[in-house]
Amino acid sequence: MKPLVAAREASVVGNVLKIFAGNSNRALAEEVVRKLDVPMGRAQVGRFSDGEISVTVGENVRSSDVFVIQSTCAPVNENLMELLVIIDALRRASAEHITAVIPYYGYARQDRKVAPRTPISAKLVADLIASAGATRVLSIDMHAGQIQGFFNIPFDHLYAMPVLIDHMRQEFSGRNSVIISPDAGGVERARAYGKRLDCGIGMIDKRRPQANEARVMHVIGEVQDRDVVIIDDMIDTAGTLTAAGAAIKARGARHVVAYATHAVFSGAAISRLQDSAIDGVIVTNTIPLSPEARECPKISQVSIAPLIAEAIRRIHHGDSVSSLFV
């Protein structure tokens, strides 16, 4: 009878929810486990003396449902390699399911060939994650939604909209507001926000002569004497955003704020935002803020942890994730 008892005990242990994290956004991961009321998985993620990544999983994960929280933000290559090595360690430890929770998916802007003899790095990263042993991927506000098709494993695409909408309603409820997309590609996003907030939308017509450089040409939409909300998936160098803010203010806007999911903030982004016509910038914590960004009075942050925690709970229990955004 002992083998039967052992088998019964194994069935109880199996499919246990376990959450691990790399070093890219530890604070977010710790907030997620608090929301789920589960302990953080024990793992040492460090470096050998030559700089190679060292991972040791400190607990049994056999037959478990494991989630690895790791943004592939700067330093992108370090954090991506950490994710791959953690996944490989969990796969070799016989985890039953391994979900890579990537709040910010690095290389997402390299989703197509923009010139001859150039890579599609977003596809390469997708192949690496699947080859490492991930059985599912969860990410938030992908720069290009079609990247989901680069994976041959299930992909859950979350949207920061519920979190940002709640903040917008507190700040702009009952006010004469308009949602502006910083480019033509984001008009659908602006329309979705405008519909839920029952306000008008507009867009910025811009030209991009080269990478990380954009020129604002026209403001399309009525912004005179209105509170304007610029909505985007990310803020990188902030060149487009600050130029848009200046153009909108020049058209007579009363108040201009920007909302974005991913605070990349590379190069001179912080100083540009500080010196710009934009009155405030609200971002989520998919990427941890640098000390300089935390000290900037114009920048504030809202947490995406409740959304990630609920998505993890639903995936673990086999419930619908898409119903979060209905």
Catalytic residues: 206
- Hey, how many other C-beta atoms are within 10 angstroms of the C-beta on 77? 11
Query: Whole-angstrom Cα distance, residue 216 to residue 243?
Result: 6
The letter for the amino acid at 277 is A
Q: CA 181 to CA 205: how far, in whole Å? A: 9
Number of Cβ atoms within 10 Å of the Cβ of 292: 13
Q: At 255, give phi and psi (nearest 5°).
A: -150, 135
The three-class DSSP label of residue 324 is: helix
CA distance 170 to 168: 5
What are 281's strand-pairing partners? 258, 299
The CA distance from 212 to 188, in Å, is: 22
For residues 192, 197, 202 and 203, what is the CA-based torsion angle, rounded to 10 degrees?
A: -50
Which alpha helices (H) appear in the chain, and where do they start and end?
Answer: 2-13, 26-36, 76-92, 121-132, 161-172, 187-197, 239-250, 269-274, 291-295, 305-317
DSSP bridge pairs for 98: 66
Q: What is the DSSP letter of 40?
A: B
